[in-house]
Structure 1
């Protein structure tokens, strides 16, 4: 999700899932590299390699065809990567790694060649200017096919009873209604992870609202709170975004903030604390390491062609987050049911 203020870098988490035959073939080749990673983890004490600093232990080992994908922490991004991973493995014969890194550090890792692709970027103009236009170490990978939008939302059952709440100018009227134990006597504006794209503290201050931004800590924790509020039919105000499968279970109405303008965005780029307008509607984009884009063969060609709809993404995301399937099982189920969609992605 677009520009962010990273308060804490997510520890990178490497997940490998080679096919059975590839696993046997790679085992002997990877012992040395795996030992090196084990030593690194012991030295760092964090349980996972920081991929902004360390190369993948599988990259270019014995001529192995491998791809490393950055996966963001929200479930929609996980759905993209799970389907791409499944098809790269089963249709094109690539070994795939996935690495979880926060949004801005992921750009650094991509530029350095620590990861090969980011499949869902919500717009980082500063990083795009630096790495795509100036350094040319990152190449555009095309649009994902999904349009992203961040905003403030209230549950539909509350908006139906209080329709004026959907105008930000009336929010202070409901500040006491949205108050919680965590909001310190003010209305609560529930956010997810501090590492996500958020202008909410600036918006609350610059619009003069009697609200406190409260971070749930992650998308999963935020979903848990929203579901609990909805179960009890309690009012809540939350930062949320589309596409998101949760809208199917908890219908919400958006609160209209002051209209987004290019002038507001330009001002915000120079001084994020000055933002006083709504979030933009953003066509979500893919980015590839520039060398990988040129030399990545069928994998690079496939990732450039990877393009699906909000409905496709929500279907996979819902299976992961709501139905309890693993990302791999959800991807496999979707792939088997939608060959007409993904076959045109293959080079």
Structure 2
């Protein structure tokens, strides 16, 4: 099972691993890996499933039925995904339009930091995340510099510190994400995503699309139709479910397996239907 580098994915993987191992007696090997290499891993037979896929139509074209024919769409996982730019809501008191791309462009200097020099800082997380931010900065001619925190956890630490100090910040972020329960963040409005608007990665004229997040399976794994595959295929949960487990891992510092066990013990009504009929006791 691929485990990509954000805590929401880790939460999903933890719960699924716990259920596979404790309800079906299936040993799960988790592989910490970035998004794009996960697809190559499925193509090579090293990975069976990606449990939270954000779009990646180009990778589906390369590895799916129109390409290598080694992966298949596993259907929605129940999560609704939003990517984009976020600012703290308290900035709207002094800069009422800062939650629009025009307002960000006009006030870019308020985001300056030592790391960004004479430009405003655009805070990003893991450089391995697939993003379109530089293309958006280029197209809208914004005086911004992308500064990578290095990981999701490091970005969250920076955002929380700035929020606590009531300092301006502009960040790449997303939902589902447990931090929204703690910080009041405003999503920056851009022109709505349309087909083709992000094809040129250096010149992106729109915001991010909205995603119905889905699962991707290695084709041979899906065709084997094992009980493990059936559980993963049946699995769907909400943003709220994921955020509960993710917050236990990131904020309460619980081990992922412990967080998964805690959620499973309190939510049998949610997960019981994921268990294949033949495996139910």
Alignment correspondent of 1:299: 228
Q: Can you list the C-alpha shifts for 1:175-202, whole angstroms capped at 9, x where unaligned? A: 2211000112111110111111211111
The more displaced of 298-307 and 127-136 is 127-136
Give yes or no for the alignment of 1:162 onto 2:95. Answer: yes
- Tell me whether 1:146 sits opposite 2:75 in the alignment: no
**What residue in structure 2 maps to residue 109 of structure 1?**
41
| 1:260-310 Cα deviation digits (max 9, x unpaired) | 111314xx1xx3212121000011110111111011410001100110000
TM-score, normalised relative to structure 2: 0.95
Contact 2:138 2:203 in 1 (8 A): no
- Residue 130 of structure 2 aligns to a residue whose secondary structure is coil
Whether the 8 Å CA contact 2:109–2:120 is kept in 1: the answer is yes
Q: Counterpart of 1:74?
A: 6
Residues 86-136 of structure 1, C-alpha deviation per residue, up to 9 Å, x if partnerless? 000000010111001111110000111101100001011111012112222
The CA distance in 1 between the partners of 2:45 and 2:238, in whole Å, is 28
Distance 2:43 2:218 in 1: 6
| Cross-structure match for 2:241 | 312
Q: Is the 2:39–2:59 Cα contact (8 Å) retained in structure 1? A: yes
Alignment match, 1:233? 166
SS across alignment from 2:186: strand
Q: Which moved more, 1:246-255 or 1:156-165?
A: 156-165
Structure 1's consecutive aligned runs of 4 or more residues displaced over 4 angstroms after TM superposition are none
Aligned length: 275
Match of 1:8 in 2: none
Mapped partners of 1:139, 1:160: distance in 2: 48
Aligned counterpart, 1:58: none
Q: Is the 8 A contact 2:138 2:204 kept in 1?
A: no
In structure 2, C-alpha distance between the alignment counterparts of 1:162 and 1:319, rounded to whole Å: 34
**Using the alignment, how far apart are the partners of 1:306 and 1:163 within structure 2?**
42
2:258 corresponds in structure 1 to: 329
Q: What are structure 1's unaligned runs of at least 5 residues?
A: 1-68
- Per the alignment, residue 110 of structure 2 pairs with 177
Q: What root-mean-square deviation, in Å, do the aligned CA atoms of Structure 1 and Structure 2 show?
A: 1.0
Q: Which has the larger radius of gyration?
A: 1
Name 1:198's counterpart in structure 2: 131
Classify the secondary structure of the residue corresponding to 2:30.
Answer: strand
- Cα shift at 1:164: 1.0
Shift of 1:161: 3.6
Q: Which residue number in structure 1 is paired with residue 19 of structure 2?
A: 87
